[in-house]
Amino acid sequence: MEGIWQVAPLRISFLIRSVYDLLPSNANLVRWGKKDDPTCPLCYSRQTTEHVLSSCKVALSQGRYTWRHNRVLQELASVISTAKGQSNPPSPNFTIFTTEGGARKWCGRSNTASNQKKGLLDGCNDWEVSADLPEWDKHPEVIRRTTLRPDIVIHSPST
């Protein structure tokens, strides 16, 4: 719990106030006696915290939420790309149990020794990350020829 207070105090304040609907939206300003009109200046609906953060149809049609979406997507793609070169060896306390038949048990699942993997990308060194962002490369051909439009693709040509 101590780690949360290391975060910038204004971010913590925003998070707490947004959860309890205490941000200064027009609806809250009317409730607090600071304003007379609770409507959104863009679409004239009632402007609540939810409306400001994700529900205003005019803001959606103008692409105002795209910036926030792209920032989150950019961060995710960057973290995945950085992790590409890292391997995660098991910790010293990591134990794999071998049963009488030669199967290995790990995290409650039973696998044979040859199939034991730590993750989906184990044993694959050629995987690539692409994101649906202007500054990133396009998705691989296997995705482009479909009608799918995913935000992030992790692809290995060899698997």
**What one-character-per-residue DSSP string does 93-125 give?**
T---EE-TTSEEEETTEEEEGGG--SSTTTT--
Domain that holds residue 25: 2-64
pLDDT for residue 87: 54
Burial readout 103-135 (b: 16 or more C-beta within 10 A, e: otherwise): ebeeeeeeeeeeeeeeeeeeeeeeeebbbbeee
What is the count of structural domains for the chain?
Answer: 2
Q: What is the mean pLDDT of the chain?
A: 74
Q: What is the pLDDT of residues 136-156, one digit of tens each?
A: 656 777 777 787 778 888 877
> Quick check: is 51 in a domain?
yes
Q: Is 95 found in the same domain as 60?
A: no
More confident residue, 44 or 139: 44
Q: Is 95 found in the same domain as 53?
A: no
Q: Is 53 found in the same domain as 93?
A: no
Decide if 71 contacts 81 (C-beta within 8 A): no
Q: Is 44 found in the same domain as 9?
A: yes
Decide if 137 contacts 153 (C-beta within 8 A): no
Decide if 154 contacts 121 (C-beta within 8 A): yes
The Cα 135–Cα 131 span in angstroms is: 9
> Quick check: is 156 in a domain?
no
Q: What is the pLDDT of residues 81-130, one digit of tens each?
A: 777 665 554 444 444 555 566 555 544 444 444 555 556 566 667 777 88
pTM over 0.85: no
